[in-house]
Structure 1
């Protein structure tokens, strides 16, 4: 019986169906003395679920990369900051507890703080929208794939799909 041996992705190590592994240059013959049959390494075909998880992980990594200078605790206040900035823009008499405190400690006016928050929120939302749009496009392609070859053709980290 032939025990097939498989090269690893780097073509340096070989493993067989019986658990043997070693350097590709030292592949022993079959038990009957015949030469070993070596098949090139072929990664398993991705499943749709695995591909979707990889796409979502790449999207999450890219979203986090948009905010490298901000800790989670600060990012958790962004929704409140945006709400207060929006409310203040609509009615300057609206109390802005969080933004007033930040502006006071920074030594700037509440109006300047509101403008800063609005500008940063718009920039972040545009960048996050581009990332999420790319993620959704890849997810739709993965969901539409009908064959393992179509799934394998989708690269979750394809730089042509994601925003620069």
Structure 2
């Protein structure tokens, strides 16, 4: 029979239990510290993310698109070149929102009608912005040519004939 004297292992009563308890405590402490770090990191990430989003949105909030009624009154029903060009200028600067493409299509592409050169210019400009040139050219084949003439400085009254 082996005793603690023959194997030269000192067995102190209660010491092995203390080592186990200390290692269990250290594992528990380490896991608690890890969870605490994860929790603090998550909370800080949420605070920084929400704060930066708030700051970004306050400085440059997204504008709602131009309403259908405003678009139709400004571009289709109005024959004032100054109003139309002024509105386009405001859109380029970012002072006024752009209309939705579906509103543009409803006004111009739903039915083929003769449109004056100023409206050809507006239609082509918005088609380029929304990358819908093919759709416009199907209905108004001379639209691009008219718009290019206006961009070169040809007066609206002398631009290409109506589509």
Shorter chain as denominator, the TM-score bin is under 0.3
Question: Which structure dedicates a bigger proportion of its chain to strand?
Answer: 1
TM-score of the superposed pair, with normalisation by structure 1 = 0.23
